[in-house]
């Protein structure tokens, strides 16, 4: 056999997942400077690619979604293939991959949510923000969910950018939402929404909030909603003020300034909705007879932890208020893949700088790699994944050069495709996805929207089968 990584014997890599981290890994592999010839096959559980760029980024943040143009360009490489509608662990197993690929990279992100572990968390009306986000973005697995938006007050727990997205969608006018690519059914449901007040609860102060300046600024531009920040919430406590005075934390400083600007604003009679931003409070119980009726919160105070950060500590001061629906937005969490190690405590695939390890801090496994949120946990923006994926790919190329890889018995595309065909897995190609993409955009153009998404997999496959025939 000729050397690995040549035109006769290319390094065959399976990328599992088609979000940003998967595409950046594919790009770094295909453009490697060591002249290693690589073939990348990307497997995606859904019919459509792009992971959270399609299913997570807020529908009113269209500019961010332009990043997919970069991914489309990567997909034009003749050594790249996309296999949509193929689920790892079901349609193809780890043992199949090992037969066909020298290396496997897991780029599956973090698909579930963290839990608060408080009484009433599972009451009807208490939802994970991750589900609401997937629902309004037209994710096929979540399109059947229903959210009762008939009460006047919604609560959003958490102070990250996902909490900001959820709050903004709930507080936007229908005209604002109609200009986006929000799923049609979500637009219809939100038309019927009765929500007048969205209360955001941050367990620490405004100076510690994880949201970024543009997101906080956007709240002030909403057509129908006024941001309400009390004096106590607008002005930092002594510990936070001391931090701001002695650190050049531009994001925190500007966030606090904006909170004070919101606090100083006069009530606008043309804005019938409110976004109430509360800090230093934690939910302790969700209450209701069968479904959520009230939220009980406790006031927190900050203390300096041994590790240097400011942490919240509950006081004895409680408060209860009425609310009909709550969205828990306290971070995403990875889920295990069949046949792949998982470090439960952190919700990630255990790894040493991207090389998968048997256990946390255990030995590395040849041929197995990880990128993105399932490597480092759910943090950072889309662009954060580029250097993260490049770092893992550097290890992959190093290992390939040393022939520390899987030793596949049938390392060819033909073998993979015959396996899929034998199992009657109807895989979707990139060309097919681009056809759907075009149709979605055309449907949107007619309505002055960026696109109208397909959300029903049966409908999508029927359309594609029609074209194939």
Q: State the residues that interact with ligand NAP by CB under 6 A.
A: 116, 157-163, 165, 202-204, 208, 210, 215, 282, 329-332, 378-381
Identify which of residues 214 and 338 has a Cβ nearer to ligand NAP in the complex.
Answer: 214
| Dihedral sign computed on CA atoms, order 355, 75, 453, 20 | positive
Identify which of residues 85 and 329 has a Cβ nearer to ligand NAP in the complex.
Answer: 329
Burial (CB count <10 Å: 0-12, 13-18, 19+), residue 413 = middle
Identify which of residues 295 and 396 has a Cβ nearer to ligand NAP in the complex.
Answer: 295
For residue 87, the minimal CB distance to ligand NAP (Å) is: 24
| Separation CA 370–CA 343 (nearest Å) | 13
Identify which of residues 98 and 110 has a Cβ nearer to ligand NAP in the complex.
Answer: 110
Whether residue 17 contacts residue 51, with contact meaning beta carbons closer than 8 Å, is answered with: yes
Give the residue closest to ligand NAP by C-beta.
160
| Separation CA 18–CA 26 (nearest Å) | 10
| Separation CA 198–CA 324 (nearest Å) | 11
| Separation CA 389–CA 370 (nearest Å) | 8
User: What are residue 356's DSSP bridge partners?
Assistant: 351
Identify which of residues 309 and 338 has a Cβ nearer to ligand NAP in the complex.
Answer: 309
| Separation CA 104–CA 136 (nearest Å) | 32
For residue 128, the minimal CB distance to ligand NAP (Å) is: 10
For residue 204, the minimal CB distance to ligand NAP (Å) is: 4
Whether residue 410 contacts residue 363, with contact meaning beta carbons closer than 8 Å, is answered with: no
| Separation CA 344–CA 301 (nearest Å) | 30
For residue 380, the minimal CB distance to ligand NAP (Å) is: 5
For residue 308, the minimal CB distance to ligand NAP (Å) is: 14
Identify which of residues 125 and 372 has a Cβ nearer to ligand NAP in the complex.
Answer: 372
Identify which of residues 282 and 455 has a Cβ nearer to ligand NAP in the complex.
Answer: 282
For residue 161, the minimal CB distance to ligand NAP (Å) is: 3
For residue 433, the minimal CB distance to ligand NAP (Å) is: 24
| Separation CA 83–CA 106 (nearest Å) | 15
The SS3 of residue 461 is helix
For residue 404, the minimal CB distance to ligand NAP (Å) is: 33
Contacts of 165 (CB under 8 A, 6+ apart): 58, 61, 133, 215
| Separation CA 65–CA 63 (nearest Å) | 5
Identify which of residues 202 and 367 has a Cβ nearer to ligand NAP in the complex.
Answer: 202
Pairing assessment for the beta strands 38-44 and 294-304 based on DSSP bridges: unpaired
| Dihedral sign computed on CA atoms, order 383, 68, 332, 218 | positive
H-helix or E-strand spanning residue 218 = helix 213-219
Measured between its terminal Cα atoms, the distance across the chain in Å is 40
Burial (CB count <10 Å: 0-12, 13-18, 19+), residue 454 = buried
Burial (CB count <10 Å: 0-12, 13-18, 19+), residue 414 = exposed
For residue 305, the minimal CB distance to ligand NAP (Å) is: 11
For residue 105, the minimal CB distance to ligand NAP (Å) is: 21
Whether residue 104 contacts residue 13, with contact meaning beta carbons closer than 8 Å, is answered with: yes
Identify which of residues 127 and 355 has a Cβ nearer to ligand NAP in the complex.
Answer: 127
| Separation CA 174–CA 176 (nearest Å) | 5
| Separation CA 108–CA 103 (nearest Å) | 16
For residue 384, the minimal CB distance to ligand NAP (Å) is: 8
Identify which of residues 338 and 380 has a Cβ nearer to ligand NAP in the complex.
Answer: 380
For residue 268, the minimal CB distance to ligand NAP (Å) is: 25
Identify which of residues 9 and 212 has a Cβ nearer to ligand NAP in the complex.
Answer: 212
Identify which of residues 205 and 367 has a Cβ nearer to ligand NAP in the complex.
Answer: 205
| Separation CA 285–CA 155 (nearest Å) | 13
457-468 and 430-445 helices cross at what angle (nearest 10)?
Answer: 110
């Amino acid at each position: 056999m000729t050397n690995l990584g040549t035109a006769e014997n290319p390094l065959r890599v399976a990328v599992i997942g088609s979000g940003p981290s998967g595409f950046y890994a594919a790009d770094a592999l295909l453009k490697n400077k060591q002249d290693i010839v690589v073939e990348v096959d990307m497997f995606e559980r859904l019919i459509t690619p792009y992971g959270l760029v399609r299913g997570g980024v807020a529908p009113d943040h269209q500019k961010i979604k332009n990043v997919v143009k970069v991914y489309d360009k990567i997909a034009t490489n003749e050594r790249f293939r996309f296999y949509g509608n193929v689920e790892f662990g079901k349609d193809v197993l780890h043992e199949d991959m090992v037969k066909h690929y020298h290396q496997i990279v897991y780029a599956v992100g973090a698909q579930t949510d963290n839990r608060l572990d408080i009484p009433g968390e599972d009451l009807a009306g208490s939802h994970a923000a991750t589900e609401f986000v997937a629902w309004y973005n037209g994710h096929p697995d979540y399109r059947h969910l229903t959210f009762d938006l008939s009460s006047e007050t919604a609560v959003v727990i958490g102070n990250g950018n996902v909490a900001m997205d959820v709050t903004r969608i709930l507080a936007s006018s229908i005209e604002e939402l109609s200009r986006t690519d929000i799923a049609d059914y979500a637009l219809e449901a939100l038309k019927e929404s009765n929500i007048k007040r969205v209360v955001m609860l941050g367990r620490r102060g405004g100076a510690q909030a994880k949201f970024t300046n543009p997101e906080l600024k956007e709240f002030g531009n909403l057509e129908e909603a006024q941001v309400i920040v009390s004096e106590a919430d607008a002005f930092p406590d002594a510990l936070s003020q001391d931090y701001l005075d002695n650190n050049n934390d531009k994001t925190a400083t500007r966030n606090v300034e904006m909170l004070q600007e919101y606090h100083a604003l006069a009530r606008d009679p043309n804005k019938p909705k409110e976004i109430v931003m509360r800090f230093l409070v934690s939910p302790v119980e969700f209450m209701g007879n069968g479904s959520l009726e009230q939220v009980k919160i406790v006031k927190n105070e900050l203390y300096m932890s041994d590790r240097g950060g400011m942490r919240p500590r509950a006081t004895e001061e409680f408060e209860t208020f009425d609310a009909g629906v709550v969205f828990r937005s306290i971070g995403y969490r990875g889920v295990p893949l069949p046949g792949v190690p998982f470090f439960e405590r952190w919700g990630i695939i255990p790894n040493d700088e991207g090389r998968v390890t048997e256990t946390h801090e255990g030995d590395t496994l040849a041929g197995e790699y990880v990128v993105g949120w399932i490597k480092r946990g759910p943090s950072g923006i889309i662009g954060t994944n580029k250097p993260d994926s490049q770092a893992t790919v550097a290890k992959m190329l190093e290992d390939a050069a040393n022939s520390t890889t899987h030793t596949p018995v049938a390392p060819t595309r033909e073998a993979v495709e015959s396996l899929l065909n034998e199992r009657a897995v109807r895989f979707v190609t990139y060309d097919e996805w681009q056809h759907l993409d075009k149709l979605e955009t055309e449907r949107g153009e007619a309505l002055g929207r960026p696109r109208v998404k397909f959300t029903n997999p049966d409908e999508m496959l029927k359309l594609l089968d029609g074209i194939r025939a």
